[in-house]
């Protein structure tokens, strides 16, 4: 089965992605990992936003996972299929799976999992316990756009700040 092609984000996509990066910055300022996401309806309305909340010790508290579960509870299947999830960092396999299981639509990300993995390496950060598979390998039916080169440096800088903070506190 061919996986869906990855296309570049549009101007509207970039507006939403910038908000995701703001949420990622808010997560970092609150002592959490810098990730932020938005759920946007088919007619462009922001339905929900969230950021990483793993600092309390539950490492499944990714914003994309929260948005998938929120949409399953609050949106009929047709609205889920038309909705887009924007996120500062590409979905991890857990979140890609949740996204596909609840039947959400498109995903647009600012930085790819491959980029995140290489940044963690250059920072000597501990590797993720979960393999960083691209969304298309976990959820081949989902349309995907990303990464957004316009935001690469900003997202990279947030991850560097997070790694430096962790290094200083341990
Ligand atoms: Zn995730």
Assess contact for 110 and 25: CB atoms under 8 A: no
Q: Worst-scoring range by mean pLDDT, 13-27, 78-92, 138-152, 156-170? A: 156-170
Task: Record the tokens describing residue 64, joined without a space.
Answer: 């994309």
CA-CA-CA-CA dihedral for 65, 80, 83, 7, to nearest 10: 80
Cα–Cα distance for residue pair 122/160, rounded to 1 Å: 9
Phi and psi at 7, nearest 5°, equal -110, 160
Cα–Cα distance for residue pair 73/61, rounded to 1 Å: 17
Strand order in the sheet with 107-111: 6-7, 144-145, 107-111, 84-89, 36-40, 46-51
How many CA atoms does the CB half-sphere of 124 hold within 13 Å? 3
Measured in Å, residue 93 CA sits from the centre of ligand 1 at 7
The mean pLDDT value of the chain amounts to 93
Measured in Å, residue 148 CA sits from the centre of ligand 1 at 19
Position 168 pLDDT exceeds 90: no
Measured in Å, residue 160 CA sits from the centre of ligand 1 at 19
Position 2 pLDDT exceeds 60: no
Q: Where are the alpha helices (DSSP H) in the chain?
A: 11-29, 63-74, 77-82, 93-101, 113-122, 135-138, 152-169
pLDDT tens column, 10-61: 999 999 999 999 999 999 999 999 999 999 999 999 999 999 999 999 999 9
With 0.85 as the threshold, say if the pTM is over it: yes
Q: What is the pLDDT of residue 166?
A: 77
């Amino acid at each position: 089965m061919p996986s869906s092609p990855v296309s570049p984000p549009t101007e509207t996509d970039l507006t939403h992605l910038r908000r995701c990066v703001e949420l990622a910055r808010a997560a970092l300022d609150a002592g959490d990992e810098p990730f932020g996401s938005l759920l946007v309806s088919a007619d462009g309305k922001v339905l929900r936003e969230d950021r990483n909340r793993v600092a309390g010790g539950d490492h499944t508290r990714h914003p994309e996972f929260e948005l998938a579960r929120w949409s399953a509870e609050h949106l009929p299947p047709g609205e889920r299929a038309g909705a887009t999830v924007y996120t500062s960092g590409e979905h991890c396999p857990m979140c890609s799976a949740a996204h596909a299981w609840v039947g959400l639509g498109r995903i647009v990300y600012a930085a790819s999992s491959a980029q995140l993995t290489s940044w963690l390496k250059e920072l000597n950060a501990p590797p993720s316990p979960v393999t960083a598979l691209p969304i298309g390998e976990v959820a081949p039916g989902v349309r995907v756009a990303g990464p957004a080169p316009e935001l690469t440096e900003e997202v990279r800088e947030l991850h560097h700040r997070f790694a430096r903070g962790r290094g200083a506190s341990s």
